[in-house]
Amino acid sequence: MNKQTFEVSTLNYESDRKIIESIIAQVEWGLHDKSALEIGEPSKYLGWTFFTVSIDVAFIAKMAEVYASFLHAEGWTYYEKFENWLNTKLDEASSKACVKTVAPEFNGLF
pLDDT in tens, 68-90: 888 888 988 899 999 999 999 99
SS3 44: strand
**Residue-range domains of the chain with CATH:** 3-101 (3.30.70)
Cβ neighbours around 83 below 10 Å, total: 23
- pLDDT given for residue 101 in this prediction: 92
State yes or no: pLDDT of 106 exceeds 80.
no
Give the up-direction half-sphere exposure of residue 59: CA atoms within 13 A in the CB hemisphere.
23
Q: What would the pLDDT profile of 3-51 be if each residue is shown by its tens digit?
A: 999 999 999 999 999 999 999 999 999 999 999 999 999 999 998 999 9
Q: How confident is the model at residue 107 (pLDDT cuts 50, 70, 90)?
A: very low
Residue 1 CB-density burial (10 A; 0-12 exposed, 13-18 middle, 19+ buried): exposed
**Full-model pTM:** 0.86
Say how far apart CA 47 and CA 50 lie, in whole Å: 10
Say how far apart CA 100 and CA 83 lie, in whole Å: 6
Q: How confident is the model at residue 110 (pLDDT cuts 50, 70, 90)?
A: very low
Say how far apart CA 8 and CA 27 lie, in whole Å: 19
- pLDDT given for residue 85 in this prediction: 95
